[in-house]
């Protein structure tokens, strides 16, 4: 396969040979170190992308992250940089010629033992990277290289670590991307690698991927519509626990997958009959089984002793094991205080608004209006709409108030005229206990009464002036008494006065 970098010398020491694969992350070549005469694998960023500083920085950051990893199942990075001609590159140890993708394309499905061997080595490599906070993010069968050992077994070498967890390469295969990487806001996390490895295991056993599609939208739609066919539809030689493990790794919800890649690798190791990677001493492994039986025996003995004690207390001692509370003879009953519910305040808040007249009518005591005098109201007359005016209301004969004619505020000629007894109480005053002061007219003669009403100095003042001098109150004079205006020592009355000879208002007697 011809390429722009075939046979070129990179950084004056790395000679490119055969092209292994192409991607936006960089084209992968087999090559040789010219000075050390050692085979290497070289990844070169295409010139069209290297001209963009953002792509160059991303490529070098990925190479830097990959160089921090070291594991037997990782294709370790040894060098990276930009040469004098602007070629951006990264160098790895020598990679084998065959990938897992080419193996599946040639042979189809793999046997169970080979599948478990490749899967557990891949999981161990990814778990080692996760321990250093480095994720793969786009794992596919083409990123898993296979080295054939002398005994016929496979050794795995995984490449492609250190990518940006927030951006997915444009050429990434959507069949192996997790659902969270194909959404509106794609993001990769450690559980995304678990999903990708589950899909790869499904393909190794079934010969096909669980969901086929060329675009991200097509794959996403098929995943949401129906689940993939069960592995039992392709083969019947699977262990009972293998398919549940793969389905758990392929769960669409990240929370339903394995919590870590290390836990997934441990289950794969146990299923293949090996020892888990985090090895534990045999004595320490066997101890929990003894402790479980000892704990069960202790619990059973405790339950038996408790049951025997209850039987003895109930049937032998004839006692009621139920505890009964006895009230203290010297105690006093306590009335619990009800909690503040706010019901009273709520009921008051729900009351309708009331006018002043309605509040006065609803009040108790002597200030309450008589029945039938509840007003209606038209804006400024409280008893305009059908209510009878209360006693003492003004009439039509009174003067206007503030420019409003009497007919506007007292219809139907006003209310009832009330005469108040000076010596008694008033129905307009509350009948409370104690002394109530009631004004009583002063007994004055005509001259004194006339002086009691002065004429205002300013005739234009807004003061009501009486039309005539009020008549003096008629004060009855007892009989056989002398007139009030007599000259001392004389029997005749004073000039201009006559003795009152009878009751007031009676005709004069000659």
3 state SS of 1: coil
pLDDT at position 278 is: 44
Helix 261-271 × helix 242-249 angle, to 10°: 170
For position 161, what pLDDT does the model report? 87
Amino acid 487: pLDDT: 46
Q: Do domains 9-93 and 98-271 have the same CATH topology?
A: no
| 8 Å CB contact between 261 and 136 | no
Report helix, strand or coil for 79: strand
DSSP 74: B
* pLDDT tens, residue order, the chain (510 aa): 456 677 789 999 999 998 888 877 788 899 999 999 999 999 999 888 888 888 898 889 888 988 999 999 999 999 999 998 899 999 999 988 789 999 999 999 999 999 999 999 999 999 999 999 999 988 999 999 998 888 888 899 999 887 655 556 666 888 999 998 887 777 888 999 999 999 999 999 999 999 998 888 899 889 888 888 999 889 888 998 999 999 999 999 999 999 999 999 999 999 987 555 443 333 333 334 445 666 777 877 788 888 877 777 666 666 555 555 666 666 666 655 656 667 667 766 776 776 666 665 555 444 444 544 445 555 555 555 555 555 555 554 455 555 555 554 455 445 556 677 777 666 666 555 555 566 666 655 555 544 555 555 555 545 454 555 555 555 555 555 455 444 444 444 444 444 544 555 454 544
Please name every residue paired with 348 in a beta bridge, in sequence order, or none if there are none. Answer: none
Instruction: Label residue 98 exposed, middle or buried (CB < 10 Å: 0-12, 13-18, 19+).
Output: middle
**HSE of 304 in the Cβ direction (CA atoms, 13 Å)?**
6
- Which pair of structure tokens corresponds to residue 209? 């991927």
Residue found by looking up tokens 């722009």 in the block: 4
Torsion angle, CA of 381/382/387/389, rounded to 10 degrees? -80
pTM tops 0.85: no
CA distance 361 to 358: 5
**Three-class SS state of 28:** strand
DSSP symbol at 506: S
Domain boundaries, the chain: 9-93, 98-271
Three-class HEC string of 169-211? CCCCCHHHCCHHHCCCCCCCCHHHHHHHHHHHHHHHHHCCCCC
Looking at residue 291, its pLDDT comes to 56
Task: Return d(Cα 318, Cα 322) in angstroms, integer.
Answer: 12
In the prediction, which pLDDT does 264 show?
Answer: 95
Question: How many residues are there in the chain?
Answer: 510
Q: What is the pLDDT of residue 48?
A: 85
φ, ψ at 486 (rounded to 5°): -115, 155
Reduce the DSSP state of residue 199 to 3 states and report it: helix
Q: Which CATH number fits domain 98-271: 1.10.510.10, 3.40.50.2000, 3.90.105.20, 2.30.30.90?
A: 1.10.510.10
DSSP string across 313-367: IIIIS----S------TT----PPPPP---HHHHHHHTSPP--HHHHHHHS-STT
In this predicted structure, what is the pLDDT of residue 494?
47
Q: Does domain 9-93 have CATH number 3.40.710.10?
A: no
Please count the helices (runs of H) and the strands (runs of E) in the chain: 13, 9
């Amino acid at each position: 396969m011809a390429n722009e970098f075939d046979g070129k010398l990179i950084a004056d020491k790395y000679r490119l040979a055969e092209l292994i694969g192409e991607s936006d992350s960089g084209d992968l070549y087999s090559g040789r170190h010219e000075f050390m005469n050692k085979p290497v694998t070289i990844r070169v960023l295409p010139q069209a992308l290297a001209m963009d500083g953002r792509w160059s920085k991303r490529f070098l950051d990925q190479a830097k992250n990959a160089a921090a990893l070291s594991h037997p199942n990782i294709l370790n990075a040894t060098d990276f940089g930009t040469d004098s001609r602007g070629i951006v590159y990264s160098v790895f140890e020598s990679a084998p010629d065959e990938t897992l993708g080419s193996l599946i394309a040639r042979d189809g499905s793999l046997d169970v033992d080979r599948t478990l061997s490749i899967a557990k080595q891949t999981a161990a490599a990814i778990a080692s990277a996760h321990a250093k906070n480095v994720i793969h993010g786009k794992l596919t069968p083409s990123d898993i290289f296979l080295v054939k050992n002398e005994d016929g077994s496979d050794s795995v070498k995984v490449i492609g670590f250190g990518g940006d967890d927030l951006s997915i390469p444009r050429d990434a295969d959507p069949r192996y991307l997790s659902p969270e990487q194909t959404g509106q806001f794609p993001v990769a996390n450690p559980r995304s690698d678990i999903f990708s490895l589950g899909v790869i295991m499904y393909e190794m056993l079934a010969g096909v991927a669980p969901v086929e599609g060329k675009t991200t939208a097509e794959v996403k739609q098929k995943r949401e519509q129906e689940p993939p066919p069960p592995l039992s539809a392709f083969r019947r030689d699977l262990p009972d626990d293998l398919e549940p493990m793969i389905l758990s790794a392929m769960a669409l919800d990240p929370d339903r997958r394995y919590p870590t890649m290390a836990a997934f690798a441990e289950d794969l190791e146990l299923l293949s009959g090996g020892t888990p990677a985090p090895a534990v001493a045999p004595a320490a492994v066997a101890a929990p089984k003894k402790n479980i039986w000892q704990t069960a025996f202790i619990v059973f003995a405790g339950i038996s002793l408790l049951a025997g004690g209850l039987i003895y207390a109930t049937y032998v001692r004839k006692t009621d094991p139920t505890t009964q509370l006895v009230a203290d003879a010297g105690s006093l009953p306590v009335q619990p205080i009800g909690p503040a519910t706010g019901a009273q305040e709520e009921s008051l808040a729900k009351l309708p608004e009331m006018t002043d007249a309605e509040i006065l009518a609803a009040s108790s005591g002597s200030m309450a209006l008589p029945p039938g005098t509840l007003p209606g109201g038209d804006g400024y007359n409280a008893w305009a709409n059908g209510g009878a005016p209360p006693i003492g209301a003004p009439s039509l004969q009174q003067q206007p108030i503030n420019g409003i004619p009497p007919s506007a505020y007292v219809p139907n000629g006003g209310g009832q005229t009330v005469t108040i007894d000076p010596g008694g109480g008033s129905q307009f005053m509350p009948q409370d206990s104690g002394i109530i002061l009631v004004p009583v007219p002063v007994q004055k003669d005509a001259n004194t009464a006339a002086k009691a009403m002065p004429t205002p100095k300013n005739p234009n003042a807004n003061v009501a002036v009486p039309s005539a001098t009020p008549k003096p109150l008629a004060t009855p004079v007892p009989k056989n008494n002398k007139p009030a205006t007599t000259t001392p020592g004389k029997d005749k009355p004073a000039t201009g006065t006559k003795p009152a000879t009878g009751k007031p208002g009676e005709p004069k007697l000659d």
